[in-house]
Structure 1
């Protein structure tokens, strides 16, 4: 369920912190899904510096990482996204996806000075390796960045901020700091997930004939009211098969009643379109009419 989005400059210690988190949550009995940008780049068949020099290749791997993260989201497991995540718009996409999945999320920012990060980068001695078989997993974390790529990534890095809802809660850790593991655990498991936006939710399912029956029932109620008014009955009009009565002023005409009926239908389709509410439609519709005609 929870997702940890790691962000930071090149060679800021992101993978080291990701492995700390992996061990911590594993020791607590949680299943941890570790998604590594370095592994994804190699598995896509790209050399590390070649990848960061091509925006199209970056988009491809970012999309793969996002898809993998969302596929692994569930109720209890932890998803650790070990990547630069330097684009705030991309972090916002992850936030929206996590929110839609009714999950929790936090951001871990690995802070570091650029000069120190470059020193760490120069200590790397690995070489790019592209896996030859489908079962090989290659981690190019120890491959150094070229100076040109390092400077470019630092220049376009968009630092996370705790006052942005998609970066919050934000934890900041520098190379010499101790990671706030318990605080991260509490942020993920002790807080409630944010409610998803209504626009991202699928509309409720309905029976095949539900809308037809809904329309038929409301039409019949309107017809009964108009028939009663036509014969001079100006009092409450009982509804067949129900104990409720339509109590609308005698001066309300067919046009007004049908306009209210359309409003009720539109609202019901969005919020109550389930087979379990069909038997309650007469009562709900009568309450709607009585309320709106007697304001």
Structure 2
């Protein structure tokens, strides 16, 4: 249904805002006036995944060991994987975390687009001084070390409403009593669902025998055209139906319109090489064609027949 990404400095009050938002959303969903689909509001955070504060130690400060920063990447990946697992059309998922790297927010945005769910970003704002003060006052054992806190304050990449992956963006200063819940509700229930683009869609895979079928079919067609021409005494021209017996799936009979002249083997071999080169790339790298791509002998034969017609000079 929707992904709400929460971002902000460490110890800026993000979890407090998340709980405020969750309470509002659940009350709204339980309101008798609400007639929409039955939805669940879920929160996902580092604490849920048992990710400790020490994983955010980074290389910015000279006194912080470089080895510590290597644990941050798998921690982010664990959060991303859990997000993908929980995100669906029956859930409003609130991602409670710093989410301070814009590339990571973009990755989550792409995942949400692929699942066709709405997105929103909540930016919880507090001054660095307040974050230091609130971190020092923590008694739950989840305080950041002084070095890690300073590191994260330096590395934070602020969300921007000017980029699509942070939009719509809702900014909540520390001085505000409540969250802009009505505006967030409207964004995640009425906002546009952006369809996946080429960069977020899975690329259709070709069958394992596609390369063999491509080479075999085009070679057979070249031989069939030369055989038909020889049988006609060199006067082949117009619409010709070729018979390609592959011995397994029957006989393919592509239709091809040939020029009224003698066609040389070198011409057909050149056209075949060009056709095979283009389609090999589509097989090995994938294709952006919509829907399932047919790599059967019949389909390849029809495509190659059209390609020959376009590239043979009259």
Q: TM-score, normalised by structure 1?
A: 0.73
1:125, distance to aligned residue in structure 2 (A): 4.6
Tell me how far apart the structure 2 counterparts of residues 36 and 202 of structure 1 sit (CA, whole Å). 31
Match of 1:159 in 2: 158
Q: How far does residue 193 in structure 1 lie from its aligned partner after superposition?
A: 3.1
Instruction: Give the CA deviation at 1:149.
Output: 4.5
Residue 166 of structure 1 aligns to a residue in which SS? helix
Distance 1:183 1:288 in 2: 55
Determine if contact 1:244/1:283 at 8 Å carries over to the other structure. yes
Please list, as runs of the form range in 1=range in 2, the aligned pairs for 1:201-220 lying within 5 A after superposition.
201-206=202-207, 209=209, 211-220=211-220
Q: How big is the shift at 1:15?
A: 0.9
Q: Count residues with an aligned counterpart.
A: 274
TM-score by length of 2: 0.69
How far off is 1:178 after superposition?
4.6
Distance 1:224 1:19, change over 3 A: same
Q: In the alignment, which residue of structure 1 is the partner of 2:181?
A: 181
User: Are the counterparts in 1 of residues 237 and 258 from structure 2 also a CA contact under 8 Å?
Assistant: yes
Query: Which residue in the other structure is 2:167 paired with?
Result: 168
Counterpart in 2 of 1:284? 303
- Give yes or no for contact 1:218–1:285 (8 Å, CA) kept in 2: yes
Shift in CA distance, 12/248, structure 1 to aligned 2, threshold 3 Å:
farther
Would you say 1:221 and 2:249 are equivalent positions?
Answer: no
Q: Distance in 1 between matches of 2:209 and 2:144?
A: 62
Aligned position for 2:234: 232
CA distance in 2, matches of 1:174, 1:216: 67
Q: Distance in 2 between matches of 1:198 and 1:277?
A: 27
Deviation per residue, 1:117-171 (Å, 9 max, x gap): 445556x45231xxxxxxxxxxx4xxx5565544443222211122233323322
Residue 126 (str. 1) matches residue 139 (str. 2): yes
Aligned pair in 2 of structure 1 residues 242, 39: CA closer, same or farther (>3 Å)?
closer
Aligned equivalent of 2:2? 2
Q: Which aligned pairs between 1:7-22 and structure 2 lie closer than 5 A?
A: 7-22=7-22
Q: How does 1:130-145 map to 2 (within 5 A)?
A: 140=142, 144-145=143-144
Contact 1:7–1:14 (Cα < 8 Å) also in 2 = yes
Q: Alpha carbon RMSD of aligned pairs, Å?
A: 3.6
Change (3 A) 1:220 1:112: same
Instruction: Give the deviation of 1:31 after TM superposition.
Output: 2.0
Q: State the partner residue of 2:101.
A: 87
Cα separation, 2, equivalents of 1:267 and 1:104? 35
Deviation at 1:12, TM superposition (A): 2.3
C-alpha displacement of 1:81 = 1.4
For 1:291 and 1:186, locate their aligned partners in 2 and report how far apart those are by CA, in whole Å: 53
Question: 1:187, 1:52 → 2: CA distance?
Answer: 31
1:217, distance to aligned residue in structure 2 (A): 3.0
Whole-Å separation in 2 of the counterparts to 1:210 and 1:10? 52
3-state secondary structure, aligned to 1:11: coil
CA drift at 1:105: 3.1
- Aligned residue among 19, 31, 46 for 2:40: 31
Q: 2: distance between equivalents of 1:232 and 1:70?
A: 63
State the SS of the aligned residue for 1:217.
helix
Deviations 1:16-65 (A, max 9, x none): 2222333344443322331122444xx34x4x4x5544434444433322
Q: Which residue of 2 aligns with 1:191?
A: 192
1:112 aligns with 2:126: yes
